[in-house]
Amino acid sequence: MDITYEWRGDFENGAVDALHAEGFGHAREDTDWQTRLHRHSLGWVCARRAGRLVGFVNVAWDGGVHAFVLDTMVAPDARESGVGTALVAAAARGARAAGCEWLHVDFEEHLRPFYFDACGFRPTEAGLIALRTAPAGTSRRPSRTG
């Protein structure tokens, strides 16, 4: 079955919340994704199969030429089929069309092949300060794509 990708597509909070919880291994949090994304994001991409949300990526920005990929998530039954790569490609097209010159991403080490090989990002020097410590054995950073 075909998967469609839509820049700034309509979505329901519950669908994104469920996908995020499933993708990042936590309980549902009832996040108001509508408010969050409309307030802070350049755009987002929804991937749907037969009307069901199977993938999502958020594209934040600095209000200028820098955009940032956040929360790339793919439903387990749609992983390993190119959905994550297509989400990031659609995010890049949307950011480019909006006038951005750079698309940034950070990720955990095990996602290097996805972002570098499949999506075409290149390594750069970057820095990070942890502002809040996660409980032992957990991560506050994204961990799942497909």
Examine residue 139 and state whether it is found in any structural domain, yes or no.
Answer: no
Q: How confident is the model at residue 138 (pLDDT cuts 50, 70, 90)?
A: low
Domain annotation covers residue 141: no
Confidence at residue 134, expressed as pLDDT on a 0 to 100 scale: 66
Specify if 133 maps to a domain: no
**Sheet harboring 41-49: ordered strands across?**
3-7, 41-49, 52-61, 66-74, 102-104
- 11 in a structural domain: yes
Domain assignment present for residue 8? The answer is: yes
| Per-chain mean pLDDT for the chain | 90
Domain membership flag for residue 56: yes
Cβ neighbours for 94, distance < 8 A, ≥ 6 positions apart: 7, 8, 42, 43, 45, 59
* Average pLDDT, integer, range 105-131: 92
The pLDDT value given to residue 135 = 62
In a domain, 144, yes or no: no
Q: Does 111 reside within a domain?
A: yes
Show the domain range for 72. 3-118
The number of folded domains in the chain is 1
CATH number, domain with residue 110: 3.40.630.30
**Given this model, what pLDDT does residue 25 score?**
87
